[in-house]
Amino acid sequence: MARAKLNPGDVIDGFTLVEMAHKGGMARLWRVTHPDHDFPMLMKMPELGEGADPATIVGFEMEQMILPRLSGPHVPRFVTNGDFAVQPYVVFEELPGKSLYPRLESLPLSPEQVADLGARIATALVSLHHQKVVHLDIKPSNVMFRETGEAVLIDYGLARHLELPDLMDEEFRLPYGTAPYMAPEQILGHRSDFRSDIFALGALMYFFATGKRPFGDPQRLKGLKRRLWRDPYPPRALNPIVPAALQEVILRCLEINPARRYPTAAQLAMDLQNLSGVALTPRATKLKRDSFSVVLKRRFNPDPMDMVKPENATEQLFDAPIVAVAIDLNGSTPELLDKLRIVVGKTLDTTPNARVACLNVLKVNRLTLDSALDEEGRNKHVRKLVELKNWASALDMPPGGVTFHVLEAVSPAQAILNYARENHVDHIVMGARAEAAMRSLLGSVSGEVAAHAPCTVTVVRNRVWPATE
């Protein structure tokens, strides 16, 4: 059975308790050491005394099941679990520094800081969601950062792994979460939608940008349900320095219907890293909350919410890929440019929620200075952007569905690969060099990209027919 009282120096399964790091209402955290592990570690143990919330025990069971299945820089490194029959615990790495919680004393943050924090947290959610986990408790105290800058998401007691039994849903009818950040569908008992984490991140960014929580901190179910019909004040109404693009991003995350939010955390991160490319809608310029008549209709005659079933949840990630189209505007024939458009169009036909990023690499010299102007005195960067937009004009894309990027680099292949890695690209479409002599002399950019890309690569070629006599 679990020990009633623990003291520094006690040993549990080879782990020596050093000192209490934190004592909360649901768990205790001890710093521990072990001869087989040479990095800082924490042992987390649930509070099991008189009056303990049964949800605490169930949540701890969930964390013991989920944490061992996670990997990567955006989660704490798992070490081992302890049996409930003896002493329940979970041991994981202790991260340096503090969570985002102390930053609440210095709110609001600058828009640049909010966008940077949001992008890093969204990147962590990309990794978590691809591991089939919905966190369901994104809030400042559950976000930490490695010394290398990556956001780390902690505390998986309320999380849902789509391939494991959902004990929280099976045993409790009331929604569990942290009131200011809970998504509407989570309040209604739906725990399988990755977009619930996007809503929570939107609430966090709103708070950090304005110093005010978008929906307050209600403690009763009636108060929680108000966000199903009552929209928050637009961020720019509370803090005029919030850029229109950042308000657009935040309010899109906070849409009541998950179908109107960002479909994936990857697309959200992409916009936060490039606010200048965000397509603005009426959300961006709002300075007042919705009218009483709109709120009344939403409350008593709401639009159906797009609820996702657990077995279909992972399809969200595949239905909204980021497609990077690398276009050689100088070395491609009109025929090849048309074929690239056809290939991208077919991709959009099957995945209408895809985001397209049109790339062109403006190659620069390693040793000599390059002029920003071409022979006709036009800015090279601007000219390339215009040409990319002209190429994409025939694609039937919604506003914000396509962005344009001119990358200045010595190596075109490395520039494309770096963009793909940094923006979580799912599919690269590019053309091959037209002339065999050029490929022999300069090497194949498409070959290098295909060999090292972190995603699918489609290389489009002009068809070359054999010569006939």
Q: Of residues 277 and 251, which shows the higher confidence score?
A: 251
Q: For 59-63, 81-85, 108-112, which range has the lowest pLDDT when averaged over its residues?
A: 81-85
Q: Could you read off the pLDDT of 241-253 as tens digits, one per residue?
A: 999 999 999 999 9
**Average pLDDT of the residues of the chain:** 89
Q: Is the pLDDT of residue 377 over 80?
A: no
- Which has more confidence, 370 or 107? 107
pLDDT tens by residue, 97-106: 899 999 999 9
Mean pLDDT, range 426-442, rounded to an integer = 68
Residue 127 pLDDT greater than 90, yes or no:
yes
pLDDT (tens digit per residue) in 135-148: 999 999 999 999 99
> Which of the listed ranges 209-223, 357-371, 374-388 does the model predict with the highest average pLDDT?
209-223
Instruction: Write down all domains in the chain, each with its CATH number in brackets.
Output: 11-93 (3.30.200.20), 106-316 (1.10.510.10), 321-460 (3.40.50.620)
The band of 446, judged by pLDDT with boundaries at 50, 70 and 90, is confident
Q: Which two tokens stand for residue 193?
A: 């939608």
Confidence of residue 440 (pLDDT cuts 50, 70, 90): very low
**Could you read off the pLDDT of 165-195 as tens digits, one per residue?**
888 887 777 788 999 999 999 999 999 999 9
CB atoms inside a 10 Å sphere around CB 239: 18
pLDDT at 52 over 70: no
| pLDDT value for 55 | 79
Query: Quick one: pLDDT at residue 229?
Result: 94
Average pLDDT for residues 406-426, to the nearest whole number?
Answer: 92
Q: What is the pLDDT of residue 1?
A: 53
Angle at 344 between CA 342 and CA 345, to 5 degrees: 60
Instruction: Output the pLDDT for position 437.
Output: 46
Q: For the chain, how long is the longest CA-to-CA vector?
A: 94
pTM, full prediction: 0.91
pLDDT, tens digit, for every residue of 149-166? 999 999 999 999 999 988
Q: Name residues whose C-beta falls within 8 Å of residue 393's C-beta, 6 or more positions apart in sequence.
A: none
